[in-house]
Amino acid sequence: MQKIFEETHKDANSNARLGLLSLGHGVVETPVFMPVGTNGTVKGMYHQDVEKIGYKLILGNTYHLYLRPGMEVLDQFGGLHAFSNWKHNLLTDSGGFQVFSLSGLRKISQKGVSFQSHIDGSKHLFTPEKVVDIQKVIGSDIAMCLDVCTPPEISLKAATEAMHITHSWAERAILHRNSLGESFRGNLFGIVQGNFYKELRKESAQFFNSMEFPGIAIGGLSVGETKEQFIEFLAYTADIVTKEKPRYVMGIGSPDYILEAVENGIDMFDCVLATRMARNGAVFTDDGVVVLKKAIHKFDARPLEEGCTCTACTQYSRSYMHHMVKTGEMLGGMLATEHNLTYFYRLMEKVRAAIAEDRFSSFKRDYLARFYGR
């Protein structure tokens, strides 16, 4: 197994760390936030602008891309990089989360997960092997194992069963990856599950520590639990997952969740929040979230955030952004998305600088105090 991660600095007063993640389409500095581009596009953004902000690693989604445009199209174009003209790294989620969020349409068995398309209702089966195959065609630099993600407050029995299926699927995914040899060029990551039971989290983390995965994700968080639960289980799980490999918490977040993860030594995270909230008219700033549709911005000539380099902040006022949002113009969502992605990129730059200077914990405390207006 090839080593793709190198820790370059460890914060003196917390578990936060800096690292370099070497992937098929370039090196990525960690901790890193990855924008989500489910359908081969970060909604509302040109790839060139995502790149210009500085992002070198974005997400795609196996489930969505498999349904549309389908494997034949992606195969013809030689993968998603060429098809979507994205020159940097791609991480694809396995569809495990869709298995969870589209739960009304799916059925899980030891064999795999059968589900109905949310688009046309057609029936499909995902097995751990098939999901590896799909991500091979997509050309993912990081591919995720098919897993079973579960919501909070399920029984120990149900959580155990879901975890065991996740583990057996991981073993099969590894075997299948190995059988593909050189033709599978991505890095297959395992996903720790275990719901909100510490004994299961421990078992799952140890299981994945022992497996031949180049990176490990902590899954099953940010699925509807309280923030206290999130913090508790993040810290507990992160403490057990090996520090030799890149560690990825899936599906976060907001600045508080991200900083919490970084403090626990997490290297990677992705979230739709930045882009979705932008499309719904809310932008992030160091002073908190600004809801653009509010009348308070109607005559405000200031930019969204002083000093921000994005298009909205350098060329338009809050008043204009308010107008864009109120009128439902496409440009509003586009500008807000670019702003939010710029915001999160700069936040991560500040995070990395703080770690480099061994002051992450105070940075986190001060940042959140300002963000939440205290």
Partner RNA sequence: GGAGAGGUUCCCGAGCGGCCAAAGGGGGCAGACUGUAAAUCUGUUGGUUACACCUUCGAAGGUUCGAAUCCUUCUCUCUCCA
Residue 204 φ/ψ, nearest 5 degrees? -70, -45
CA distance 374 to 371: 8
CB-wise, 8 or 280, nearer to RNA? 280
Catalytic site residue from 11, 141, 147, 270: 270
Which H helix or E strand runs over 21?
strand 17-23
Active-site option among 93, 141, 147, 267: 93
Closest CB to RNA among residues 6, 123: 123
Q: Is 108 in the site for RNA (CB under 7 A)?
A: no
Active-site residue, 270 included: yes
Is residue 211 involved in binding RNA (CB under 7 A)? no
Asked if 277 touches RNA (CB under 7 A), the answer is yes
Instruction: Tell me: does residue 223 bind RNA (CB under 7 A).
Output: yes
- Rounded to a whole number of angstroms, the minimum distance from the CB of residue 326 to RNA is 5
Starting from the edge strand earliest in sequence, which strands make up the sheet with 113-116, in order? 106-108, 113-116, 123-126
The span from the CA of 184 to the CA of 175, in Å, is 12
When binding is defined by CB under 7 A, the residue of 4, 108, 142, 252 that contacts RNA is 252
Among 188, 231, 273, 308, binds RNA (CB under 7 A): 273
The two structure tokens encoding residue 90: 């791609």
Under rule CB under 7 A, residue 313 binds RNA: no
Q: Residues 317 to 356: which contact RNA by CB under 7 A?
A: 326, 328, 330, 333-334
- State which residue, 111 or 298, has the beta carbon closest to RNA: 298
Shortest approach of RNA to residue 9 CB, angstroms? 26
Cα–Cα separations (whole angstroms), residue 158 to 30, 111, 201, 277: 35, 17, 14, 33
Angle at 90 between CA 89 and CA 94, to 5 degrees: 155
84 HSE (CA, 13 A, CB side):
29
How many residues can be counted in the chain?
Answer: 374
Q: List the one residue from 279, 318, 339, 352 that touches RNA (CB under 7 A).
A: 279
Q: Please, which residue, 257 or 320, has the CB nearer to RNA?
A: 257
> What DSSP string describes 201-237?
HHHHHHHHHTS--SEEEE-S-SSS--HHHHHHHHHHH
**Contact status, residue 67 vs residue 36, Cβ threshold 8 Å:** no
Is residue 109 close enough to count as binding RNA by CB under 7 A? no
Positions in the binding site for RNA (CB under 7 A): 36-38, 42-44, 59, 61, 64, 93-94, 96-98, 100-102, 104-105, 118, 144, 147, 149, 191, 217, 219-220, 222-223, 227, 250-254, 257, 270-273, 275-277, 279-282, 291, 293-296, 326, 328, 330, 333-334
Residues annotated as catalytic (active site), given as ranges:
93, 270
